[in-house]
Amino acid sequence: MRKLFDVDEYLRCIGHEGEAKPDLDTLRALHKKHLMAIAYNSVSSLTRPPSRRGTGVDLVDIDEDATFDAVIAEGHGGGCIQLSRLFFRLLRELGFDVALLGGSTVEGAQLFGTEVEHMLLLVTLDDERWLVDVGYAGPSFLEPLRVGEEIQVQYGVQYRLVEDAGSLVLRRCARGGRWHVVYRFTLAVREPAAWSEFERKVNEKLRPTEPGAGGVGGAGGGLLLCSRAVDDGQAVLKGRRYLTVRDGREQVRTLVDNDEYENLAAGILAGPVG
């Protein structure tokens, strides 16, 4: 039986026990638990659930009940818009002051040529603003970031928000590494319709694959992008590139062996990652 969107079921699926008050401690706990419990899954983001219109990928006018059932209750994970829309609704129903923001990753801007590609959230608590993002494949922050100029450290990784030409740029520096751009965004509050142009370009450029065919990447060997957080970092698989972050230290390697690739991808999607 399909499970409709339900706050208690959502909290159970991400492993949150006890009262969920609209405060900073709860926000931090929900953010990290979500990233650990629900995988980013690019294949699922194109195939679950199908578009109401019957053709293409439906990223804007999604059925939140169907999306909740597939992405959260069944544990298939999803892409940024699915994950962020569901987490937005969860926070709103818990009483948080939360808004949708639009941004763009470096690759997304190159591929789709639009400033509104990535979806993230802004939560306001006691006149402080917090950046919230459970829908980025990573590597990125595991707990909310305060919107400010200071360097913030999480699990050995430094983060900083830098103003640039009317936008905010999220920069990240792993232990012993260099600063690089994660994505850019603005603080303008958005409605889901703002992603309509991005949805149109996705449907022009990408074709959904059938899950369960041709390995974890789907039929046709499409590029799989998946990730899941661990207690002190993340594991990210992009095609054959496997990146892990533990206590701020990054390791990356190319997977040549097909069995290893399949096992690591299946492990990320099924979770938890060791």
Question: Is 259 one of the annotated active-site residues of the chain?
Answer: no
Q: What are phi and psi of 119, to 5 degrees?
A: -115, 130
DSSP 8-state symbol, 67:
H
Among candidate residues 16, 31, 34, 118, the one labeled active-site is 118
C-beta of residue 135 within 8 angstroms of C-beta of residue 120: yes
CA neighbor of 91 nearest in space, from 63, 116, 67, 120: 120
Neighbouring CB atoms inside 10 A of 75's CB total: 16
Among candidate residues 61, 80, 180, 232, the one labeled active-site is 80
Question: Is 34 one of the annotated active-site residues of the chain?
Answer: no
C-beta of residue 176 within 8 angstroms of C-beta of residue 249: yes
Among candidate residues 6, 133, 164, 247, the one labeled active-site is 133
Residue type, position 150, single letter: E
Question: Is 133 one of the annotated active-site residues of the chain?
Answer: yes
Give Cα separations from 202 to 61, 151, 196, 255 (angstroms): 14, 34, 10, 27
What does the alpha-carbon distance between residue 10 and residue 266 come to, in Å, rounded to a whole number? Answer: 23
What does the alpha-carbon distance between residue 91 and residue 171 come to, in Å, rounded to a whole number? Answer: 25
Is residue 118 classed as helix, strand or coil in its secondary structure?
strand
Tell me which residues are annotated as active site. 80, 118, 133
